[in-house]
Amino acid sequence: MHFNEVKRLLNLNIYEDDLYLCGYETIAGVDEVGRGCLAGPIVAAAVILKRDKMFIEGLDDSKKLSEFKRNKLFRKIISGCRCWSVAKVSSRVIDRISLGSANVLVIKKAVSRLKIKPDIAITDAFDVKMDRLKIKVLPITNGDRLSSSVAAASIIAKVIRDRLMIKMARLYPEFDFRENKGYGTKKHIASLQKYGPSDIHRVSFKSVLY
């Protein structure tokens, strides 16, 4: 492993190292994807990495990685971690309860589904209260760039959501979900104007209804 990569990974573990020193033994990273999409669910993942296997070469914010690298890291993460979980909130629920509430809900669901209860969960900026779960929360701005646990969760969530949207592309070929994954590209907007929203579009979003 190149020295610069080792240095970068050391920086990714600063928060986890500090939490271990403070006495936290089980640390979860949580992140969600799909917040800015016009179609499909929000998907969140939670992961507890092994303390002696925090250094995963190439680990980074999922948005910075190619699809090939994400899939490769996905396999490494799920095979080497202590446990992981995933949760989703559908477009219909997003329309009903609002995007912000859906974000909170999906993060809580992902953490609650972990087979091992964490002492603390690191989130990507979201200060989600988990008092009922009796789990402390540490929100970090740009957490997927500053915490290895959050970065790992972002990759799991991204890979699973992308696979889901590829399946949706077979049901709704006119919207090209295989390529845009539900995000509001020019081609996607043009398809919405031509065909109107599908069953998985978020009709509460202004960009969806014209």
In a domain, 87, yes or no: yes
Number of domains the chain is built from: 1
Residue with tokens 């889901």: 164
Mean of the pLDDT values across residues 39-43?
Answer: 98
Distance separating alpha carbons of residues 73 and 22, to the nearest angstrom: 29
Give the CATH number for residue 133. Answer: 3.30.420.10
In a domain, 151, yes or no: yes
The pLDDT value given to residue 210: 66
Distance separating alpha carbons of residues 110 and 86, to the nearest angstrom: 5
pLDDT digits (tens, 9 = 90+) for 76-124: 999 999 999 999 999 999 999 999 999 999 999 999 999 999 999 999 9
In a domain, 208, yes or no: no
In a domain, 203, yes or no: no
Alpha-carbon dihedral angle through residues 19, 20, 25, 26, given to the nearest 10 degrees: 50
Residue 42 neighbours by CB distance under 10 Å: 26
pLDDT digits (tens, 9 = 90+) for 42-74: 999 999 999 988 888 888 889 889 999 999 999
In a domain, 135, yes or no: yes
Residue-number span of the structural domain to which 63 is assigned? 3-195
In a domain, 54, yes or no: yes
In a domain, 168, yes or no: yes
pLDDT band at 208 (very low <50, low <70, confident <90, very high): confident
In a domain, 209, yes or no: no
